[in-house]
Amino acid sequence: MTVSNSNEAKARAEANFKRKEEKARESSKAWADYQVQYRGVDEKIARLRALRLAKEAAEADAKGKKEAQGNNKVSPRSRWNRDPRKILSLDLQPHE
């Protein structure tokens, strides 16, 4: 009886060992898959960040150029662009 008990115990121990070994292989494979996926997400985030920063820089540059050009212009509705006779007639009308 002791021989069969020791054989059973040995078989259980070997089965436990094989299960643990299989779990270790699966977990290392899952960890590697996770790292590959995380690296892909990191690369995508870096690419999108670079695109956003380039777009913001281009918009700021365009805005700066537009402001530099726009400062010298007079609005078409400005009093300085109107006919002086019309300005005088508008100023002389009684206010209601």
Band of the pLDDT at 81, cuts 50, 70, 90?
low
Counting the structural domains of the chain, the total is 1
CA distance 30 to 27: 5
Residue-wise pLDDT for 9-18, tens only, equals 999 999 999 9
CA distance 96 to 88: 17
Residue-wise pLDDT for 31-76, tens only, equals 999 999 999 999 999 999 999 999 999 999 888 877 766 555 656 5
* pTM value surpassing 0.75: no
- How many C-beta atoms surround the C-beta of residue 89 within 10 A? 10
H helical segments located in the chain: 2-70, 84-92
Side chain identity, residue 2: T
Residues 6 or more apart whose Cβ sits within 8 Å of residue 81: 74, 75
Residue-wise pLDDT for 53-63, tens only, equals 999 999 998 88
State which residues form the domain around 56: 2-92
